[in-house]
């Protein structure tokens, strides 16, 4: 099987020649320019030959052109820190406008995608990271202020979320032209720690569905539930091919998730305790346990989120090699 055949078989629940596997990481500093970002992403894939490439820019790529500022301060996950919140007053939301996705920082990412598509081995699927409108809004105003605005000024927030959604779909249309196989749709506030279920249904779900429906014709859309105490039951009807969450750190388990989700699941390896702090032997054990618990069907082996930039090379190598042992 080639990579696409293997992934499509896993999504449908058919037999695979081996379990597909992938991991991804941020590329700090390099992620600010198309040439460096593409080169770093391609080098990572050449080292490990994963079954798909998840293109992982800084979360600010979709906000910088509105004026958001971020700084690289050495976070071990490779993420950038946000500066002063762009939205300081309620009426700042009305200043958001839909921008040209081929210009500015979004344009850098689109050009980076073009270079990645040109540089990958033929037949290697690649997908672009897209952050939900709720996630983008949190990064524009801050978590506490966003909650206040949602609860005190719902109509203003809904108007802002629609602008963010329209901009996101415009960016995706530009990304399509580069040959992406889908998107990695990151939900970073679909958690009971952040919102009530009724708030998520009202302020997040309608915009999530607009974006996912805009990519429904692409075959490799991965849905990512970030964090603990996730609202799993609220998203199981979202149209996506693969569902990724921190399955070793929060419920449900992979096997439980397969009972609720109709397509493939992605996970099996603890992000910190195993991938970063563990040994290749521990990665083999945890990965083989994930394969056993799912009978090797509808599974993409990986971790619950990004591979921190401090992840030992040998541990990533072990993650890639263990699926070859399971034939």
Read off the pLDDT of residues 185-208 as tens digits, 9 standing for 90 and up. Answer: 999 999 999 999 999 999 999 999
Closest CA to 77 of 105, 56, 50: 56
Q: Is the pLDDT of residue 95 over 50?
A: yes
- Determine the average pLDDT of the residues in 98-105: 98
CA distance 220 to 233: 21
User: Looking at residue 118, what DSSP letter applies?
Assistant: H
CA distance 235 to 219: 18
- pLDDT of amino acid 327: 47
CA distance 269 to 282: 10
CA distance 145 to 152: 10
Q: Where are the alpha helices (DSSP H) in 13-62?
A: 34-48
Q: 314: alpha, beta or left, given left = phi > 0 and alpha = psi -120 to 50?
A: alpha
Q: Is the pLDDT of residue 326 over 60?
A: no
What confidence tens digit (pLDDT) does each residue in 127-181 have?
999 999 999 999 999 999 999 999 999 999 999 999 999 999 999 999 999 999 9
CA distance 140 to 62: 10
pLDDT-above-70 percentage for the chain: 99
CATH number at residue 321: 3.20.20.210
> Burial of 325 by CB count in 10 Å (0-12 exposed, 13-18 middle, 19+ buried)?
exposed
Q: Where are the alpha helices (DSSP H) in the chain?
A: 3-12, 34-48, 104-119, 133-141, 143-152, 154-176, 197-203, 205-214, 232-235, 254-260, 280-294, 313-325
Q: How many CB atoms lie within 10 A of CB 115?
A: 17
CA distance 16 to 1: 8
- pLDDT of amino acid 132: 98
Q: How many CB atoms lie within 10 A of CB 7?
A: 24
Q: Is the pLDDT of residue 243 over 60?
A: yes
Q: How many domains does the chain have?
A: 1
Taking the model in full, what pTM does it have?
Answer: 0.98
pLDDT-above-90 percentage for the chain: 99
Range of the domain at 201: 3-325
- 52 falls in which pLDDT band (50, 70, 90)? very high
């Amino acid at each position: 099987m080639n990579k696409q055949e293997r992934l499509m078989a896993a999504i449908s629940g058919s037999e695979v020649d081996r379990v597909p596997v992938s991991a991804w990481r941020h590329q700090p500093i390099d992620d600010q320019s198309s040439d460096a970002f593409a080169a770093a992403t391609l080098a990572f894939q050449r080292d490990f030959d994963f079954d798909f490439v998840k293109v992982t820019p800084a979360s600010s790529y979709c906000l910088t052109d509105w004026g958001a500022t971020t700084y690289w301060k050495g976070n071990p996950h490779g993420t950038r820190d946000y500066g002063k919140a762009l939205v300081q007053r309620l009426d700042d939301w009305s200043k958001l406008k839909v921008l040209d996705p081929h210009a500015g920082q979004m344009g850098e990412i689109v050009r980076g995608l073009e270079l990645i598509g040109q540089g990958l081995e033929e037949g290697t699927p690649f997908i672009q990271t897209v952050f939900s409108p709720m996630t983008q809004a949190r990064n524009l105003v801050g978590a506490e202020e966003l909650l206040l605005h949602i609860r005190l000024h719902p109509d203003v927030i809904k108007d802002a979320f629609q602008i963010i959604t329209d901009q996101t779909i415009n960016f995706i249309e530009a990304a399509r032209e580069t040959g992406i196989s889908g998107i990695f749709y990151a939900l970073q506030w679909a958690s009971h720690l952040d919102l009530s279920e009724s708030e998520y249904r009202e302020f997040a779900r309608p915009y999530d569905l607009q974006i996912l429906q805009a990519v429904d014709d692409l075959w490799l859309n991965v849905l990512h539930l970030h964090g603990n105490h996730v609202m799993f039951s609220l998203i199981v009807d979202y149209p996506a091919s693969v569902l990724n969450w921190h399955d070793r750190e929060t419920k449900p388990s992979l096997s439980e998730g397969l009972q609720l989700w109709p397509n493939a699941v992605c996970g099996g390896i603890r992000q910190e305790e195993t991938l970063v702090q563990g040994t290749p032997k521990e990665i083999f054990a945890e990965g083989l346990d994930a394969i056993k618990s799912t009978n090797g069907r509808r599974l993409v082996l990986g971790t619950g989120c990004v591979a921190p930039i401090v992840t030992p090379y040998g541990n990533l190598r072990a993650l890639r090699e263990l699926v070859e042992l399971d034939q």
